[in-house]
Amino acid sequence: MFSNLKDQPADKILMLMASYKEDARSDKLDLGVGVYKDAQGNTPVMRAVKAAEKRIWEEQTTKSYVALAGDSAFADAMRDLVLGDSVSADRVAAIATPGGTGAFRQGVDLIRTANPDATVWISAPTWPNHVSILKTVGQAFKEYRYFDTTTGEVDFDGMMADLDGIKEGDVVLLHGCCHNPTGANLSGEQWSGVAQLLRQKKALPFVDIAYQGFGDGLDEDAAGTRILAETQPEMLIGASCSKNFGVYRDRVGLLMAVGDSANKKTTQGNLNHLNRQNYSFPPDHGARVVTTILTDPDLRADWQAELEDMRTGMLVLRQQLADELRQRLNDDRFDFIARHRGMFSRLGVDEAKVEAMRKDHGVYMVSDSRMNIAGLNAQTVPILADAIAKTCR
Ligand code: LMR
């Protein structure tokens, strides 16, 4: 039977991780996979996570199953973190999932159950795994324009023109903040414009929010999602704790379906059913760590302080890189790097230049020229600026 199998297309981010590992050069620079690194190049366990894990280890008396939806305290704490008071709790059904990817996958499965005729609209570009998952499940999708490679900013006119083509019941996937892979984000006014259009078209927004707290701050990064929650009759939200809690391998995510409170019981039942069919009970440990942090004022304050240090550190690196490039090129072409938010910026150069930077300078960025700003530190920014200046002049 297995001889019938064909090779699957490689994931370009994971492939890059592997080739970086194999490169023997000591001055190589890993700007590939979206994992936060400190100035020493480590991805530390956050202080509050360590403290919460210790507390759980001391106090937990059973590892028995929790619930198909996961712990309701986790859903409550995450709903509050993402949605604040933009929507009442009786309108939100939710399931814990293995990471934000699990939330996205379950969300797509829910769409397919509720409306098999829907088309999912995705930004061009988007996180490659969005595309891959949609293809894997056979979900119809179309792209809307999003990024203008010449300005490094959102092509908002193009986006709105393309979204004008959506039909009732279609789904529009939006990145809540810190757009991956571009780093270019909608302004508050633009979010309101999108909200108005989606409402008018009777389309369903699906927000993937994986970097809350990495852009302009925890509440600021959720502002667009909250505008939608306030204005749309229904929406889906997939949230990830991988990055903002640094619990990548523990797989912590939540899928929320916002709708009419009269439908909540049935929606919740469908979400529970999806969990049961795909993996039964969702993982609990990381979710419990996150809940412990969010519900304890001291741990929460410490987590927020550490997250804020990570966020502001990335902003400093962005500014330094933009400044160094302006000096070297005597041109403001790459100033958008300082205006972008989150872990990524897309340089907007072609694959041959990305390849040349890898070969000649040991700089590893994704082939679409996405670089992970958190892979830099004050000493390596000039090295990258040299590589970009020499290759992309
Ligand atoms: C990324 O975009 O690099 C991260 O979200 C990691 C991944 O799974 O691709």
Distance 156 CA to ligand 1 centre (A): 25
Catalytic option among 170, 208, 250, 368: 208
Per cent of the chain over pLDDT 90 is 97
- pLDDT digit string, tens, across residues 295-341: 999 999 999 999 999 999 999 999 999 999 999 999 999 999 999 99
Distance 34 CA to ligand 1 centre (A): 5
Whether 65 has a pLDDT exceeding 90, the answer reads yes
Q: Using CA atoms, how far apart are residues 340 and 300, in angstroms rounded to an integer? A: 27
Q: Which atom of ligand 1 is nearest to the CA of 127?
A: 2
Distance 32 CA to ligand 1 centre (A): 9
Q: What's the pLDDT score for residue 11?
A: 84
Tell me the Ramachandran region of residue 213: left when phi exceeds 0, alpha when psi lies from -120 to 50, beta otherwise: left
Whether 393 has a pLDDT exceeding 90, the answer reads no
User: Which residues surround ligand 1 with Cβ inside 6 Å?
Assistant: 13, 33-34, 127, 129, 180
Length of the chain: 393
Whether 361 has a pLDDT exceeding 90, the answer reads yes
Every domain of the chain and the residues it spans? 10-45+305-392, 65-295
Q: Whose CA is nearest to atom 5 of ligand 1?
A: 34
- The reply to whether 127 belongs to the active site is yes
Largest CA distance in the chain: 63
Q: What's the pLDDT score for residue 25?
A: 93
Q: What amino acid is encoded at 229 in this protein?
A: A
* Fold designation for 10-45+305-392: Aspartate Aminotransferase, domain 1 (3.90.1150)
Q: Using CA atoms, how far apart are residues 209 and 177, in angstroms rounded to an integer? A: 6
- The reply to whether 387 belongs to the active site is no
- The reply to whether 12 belongs to the active site is no
The reply to whether CATH 1.10.1060.10 applies to domain 65-295 is: no
Whether 9 has a pLDDT exceeding 90, the answer reads no
